[in-house]
């Protein structure tokens, strides 16, 4: 029989450690892997804050927020030194449907704080004695994920914006993505990331190798569309002209805004951050599944048409947008999102690592739809 | 098929038992009683569904044999005609569905792994060999996706012009 295909690129060290930790958790799931009771979270947070700020620090108003895909979210008030502060606690979910690295997430947010509005990370712990998993406390960012009265969807996907809100938010949305990609990360102390060489395929090689590894570790069974996509992606890797810090999940629903003023107050959900080709982020932002059709015009992320989006991006970033690379990263993004939908979520469900097992298993249907789209993009979809 | 029907049922049972039913208030006695029957029924369905088709095959052959035995004893023409009509229904082979579903699934997964490894090895050779291997996988991918679209149509995530039954009955579906 043919030998199994070995990964064609290397995986960054921090991500290799993350994958090893994941295997350990699956072999011996921690007591609260599937569900942390509110009293467990409250007690763990109190211990942690007390260790950080002394025995007089106190926690109150702990409240679970929506969303639990990769992190459990809680708002709370911290009382210390006679003052009250509003914060958000994010605790990693061991059985998450997508592999993410909290240390990288926090470093990226700290690096761009001031350039882009982000929830400022304050304290980070990898000590499982507090909450059973890595956790971070950030400042509370005011704002909403979707306009008032709009039905909130999972992770804010498909959020739409009425006028005049849309016209106010659109330029900010584009600008922050452009500023992020033009940001010089080389002096930002991002030691959880390995620096790829510009003008090479380092960045895409490493990222592809990572997703290949996750697919190989997590898939319950092989899929011909995924095999074809993997083959195509390795065959067509474009050189990365400029290696940018990427958000990885930049779309509608992943920023908070002040509805009255039409101001973006925070770009959130940095779990998927990596250093690579800006076209990966752009192609993701331009996914049709995040778009909204208004008067026959497809609005990128529900905000503005593709032509204006690209023009505004190029103007702010000073970086050109190449349609060929955009196409490559459409396929790339479909590939990794399918790794999550058809492998990681299902593997963690089967391993009893999550309470979202029914949801992940039903959402395998999204993976099926995405495989149909992959077939169409790669060879027209019919044979 | 991922996830398997059994995996869906197992997850549904866990969510009901661990997440949803404990939220029923203590005074909702009737609801709590029915909840325990729901779990019992789900356990029964999980245990039985892999054998449902084989169960019917066994019964079909057992009862068809009994009809033959009884006809041989001599019955009225009307009763015989009715019996012959019943026997005329499509008959599965006696050994049909005798492979346990779990073993069939495991075997299919092993085949899928072999297909991918062969594909990768042939692609590594490049040239016409690689192109031909890609063409084989493309045909496979089209049929795989057609089945999945039909399978998940009820979730709303996919759309399919044919039902799962029609898709599986199409020429080439089990060639």
Q: What's the mean per-residue pLDDT of chain B?
A: 94
ipTM (interface pTM): 0.89
Hey, is the C-beta of A34 within 8 angstroms of any chain B C-beta? yes
Dist. CA A181–CA A283, nearest whole Å: 13
Predicted pLDDT of residue A369: 93
**Is residue A6 scored above 50 in pLDDT?**
no
Angle subtended by helix axes A224-235 and A323-339, to nearest 10:
140
CA B172 distance to own-chain centroid: 18
**Helix and strand element counts for chain B (H, E):** 7, 0
Percentage of chain A lying above the pLDDT 70 cut: 95
**In this structure, what token pair is assigned to residue A250?**
């930049």
Dist. CA B84–CA A146, nearest whole Å: 67
For B76-125, how does the pLDDT look when each residue is reduced to its tens digit (9 = 90+)? 999 999 999 999 999 999 999 999 999 999 999 999 999 999 999 999 99
First to last CA, chain B: 18
Residues in chain A within 8 Å Cβ distance of B140: 224
Predicted pLDDT of residue A334: 96
Hey, is the C-beta of A164 within 8 angstroms of any chain B C-beta? no
Closest CA to A268 of A36, A92, A108: A108
Closest CA to A270 of A195, A348, A202, A176: A176
pLDDT band at A1 (very low <50, low <70, confident <90, very high): very low
pLDDT band at B167 (very low <50, low <70, confident <90, very high): very high
pLDDT band at A107 (very low <50, low <70, confident <90, very high): very high
**Is residue B72 scored above 90 in pLDDT?**
yes
Hey, is the C-beta of B84 within 8 angstroms of any chain A C-beta? no
Helix/strand/coil percentages in chain B, nearest 5: 75, 0, 25
The tally of CA atoms less than 13 A away on the side-chain side of residue A171 is 7
Predicted pLDDT of residue A4: 40
CB contact under 8 A, B14 and A352: yes
For A249-281, how does the pLDDT look when each residue is reduced to its tens digit (9 = 90+)? 999 999 999 999 999 999 999 999 999 999 999
Residues with Cβ within 8 Å of residue A21, at least 6 apart in sequence: none
pLDDT band at A68 (very low <50, low <70, confident <90, very high): low
Percentage of chain B lying above the pLDDT 90 cut: 89
Which of the residue ranges A102-111, A140-149, A233-242, B59-68 would you say has the lowest mean pLDDT? A140-149
CB contact under 8 A, B119 and A35: no
Tokens 């708002």 belong to residue: A75
Which of the residue ranges A2-6, A155-159, B25-29, B109-113 would you say has the lowest mean pLDDT? A2-6
For A179-217, how does the pLDDT look when each residue is reduced to its tens digit (9 = 90+)? 999 999 999 999 999 999 989 999 999 999 999 999 999
Residues with Cβ within 8 Å of residue A227, at least 6 apart in sequence: B115, B116, B119, B120, B137
Could you say which of B135, B139, B157 has the minimum Cβ distance to residue A368? B157
**Is residue A313 scored above 90 in pLDDT?**
yes
Smallest CA–CA distance from A227 into chain B, residue: B116
Q: Which of A1, A2, A343 to mutate to test the interface with B (most CBs of B within 10 A)?
A: A2
CB contact under 8 A, B121 and A2: yes
Task: Report helix, strand or coil for A305.
Answer: strand
Q: What is the mean pLDDT of residues B52-73?
A: 96
For A34-64, how does the pLDDT look when each residue is reduced to its tens digit (9 = 90+)? 777 888 999 999 999 999 999 999 999 999 8
Map out the domains of chain A with their CATH numbers. 32-379 (3.90.1200.10)
**Is residue A65 scored above 90 in pLDDT?**
no
Q: What is the mean pLDDT of residues A312-339?
A: 97
Residues in chain B within 8 Å Cβ distance of A222: 109, 112-113, 115-116
Measure B2 CA to nearest chain A CA, in Å. 7
**Is residue A7 scored above 60 in pLDDT?**
no
Q: What's the mean per-residue pLDDT of chain A?
A: 92
CB contact under 8 A, B15 and A357: yes
């Amino acid at each position: 029989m043919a030998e199994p295909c070995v990964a064609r690129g290397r995986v960054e060290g921090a991500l290799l450690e993350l994958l090893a930790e994941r295997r350990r958790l699956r072999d011996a799931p921690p007591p609260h892997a599937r569900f942390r009771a509110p009293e467990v979270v409250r007690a763990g947070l109190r211990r942690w804050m007390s260790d950080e700020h002394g025995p007089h620090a106190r926690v109150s108003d702990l409240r679970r927020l929506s969303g639990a895909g990769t992190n459990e979210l809680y708002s709370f008030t911290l009382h210390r030194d006679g003052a009250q502060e509003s914060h958000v606690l994010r605790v990693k979910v061991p059985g998450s449907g997508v592999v993410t690295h909290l240390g990288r997430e926090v470093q990226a947010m700290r690096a761009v704080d001031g350039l882009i509005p982000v929830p400022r990370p304050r304290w980070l712990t990898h000590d499982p004695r507090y909450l059973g998993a890595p956790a971070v406390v950030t400042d509370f960012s005011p704002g909403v994920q979707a306009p008032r009265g709009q039905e909130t969807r999972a992770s804010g996907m498909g959020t739409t914006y009425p006028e005049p809100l849309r016209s106010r938010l659109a330029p900010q949305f584009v600008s922050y993505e452009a500023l992020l990609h033009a940001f010089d990360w080389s002096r930002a102390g991002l030691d959880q990331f390995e620096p790829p060489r510009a003008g090479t395929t380092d960045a895409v090689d490493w990222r592809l190798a990572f997703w290949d590894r996750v697919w190989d570790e997590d898939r319950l069974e092989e899929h011909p569309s995924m095999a074809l996509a993997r083959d195509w992606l390795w065959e067509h890797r474009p050189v990365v002209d400029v290696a940018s810090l990427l958000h990885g999940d930049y779309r509608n629903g992943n920023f908070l805004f002040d509805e009255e003023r039409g101001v973006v107050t925070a770009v959130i959900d940095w779990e998927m951050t990596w250093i690579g080709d800006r076209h990966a982020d752009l192609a993701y932002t331009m996914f049709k599944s995040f778009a909204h059709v208004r008067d026959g015009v497809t609005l990128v992320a529900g905000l503005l048409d593709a032509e204006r989006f690209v023009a505004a991006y190029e103007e702010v970033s000073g970086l050109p947008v190449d349609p060929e690379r955009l196409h490559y990263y459409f396929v790339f993004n479909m590939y990794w999102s399918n790794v999550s939908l058809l492998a990681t979520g299902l593997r963690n469900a089967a391993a009893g690592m999550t309470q979202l097992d029914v949801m992940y298993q039903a959402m395998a249907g999204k993976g099926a739809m995405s495989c149909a789209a992959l077939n169409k993009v790669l060879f027209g979809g019919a044979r | 098929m991922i996830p398997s029907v059994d995996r869906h049922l197992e997850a549904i049972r866990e969510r009901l038992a661990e997440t949803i039913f404990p939220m029923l208030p203590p005074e909702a006695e009737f609801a709590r009683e029915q909840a325990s029957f729901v779990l019992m029924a789900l356990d029964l369905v999980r245990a039985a569904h892999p054998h449902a088709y084989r169960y019917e095959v066994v019964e079909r052959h057992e009862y068809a044999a009994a009809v033959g035995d009884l006809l041989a004893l001599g019955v009225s023409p009307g009763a015989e005609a009715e019996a012959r009509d019943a026997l005329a229904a499509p008959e599965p082979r006696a050994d049909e569905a005798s492979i346990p579903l779990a073993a069939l699934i495991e075997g299919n997964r092993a085949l899928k792994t072999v297909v991918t490894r062969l594909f990768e090895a042939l692609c590594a050779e490049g040239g016409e060999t690689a192109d031909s291997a890609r063409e084989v996988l493309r045909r496979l991918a089209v049929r795989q996706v057609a089945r999945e679209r039909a399978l998940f149509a009820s979730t709303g995530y996919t759309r399919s012009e044919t039902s799962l039954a029609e898709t599986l009955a199409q020429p080439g579906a089990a060639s």
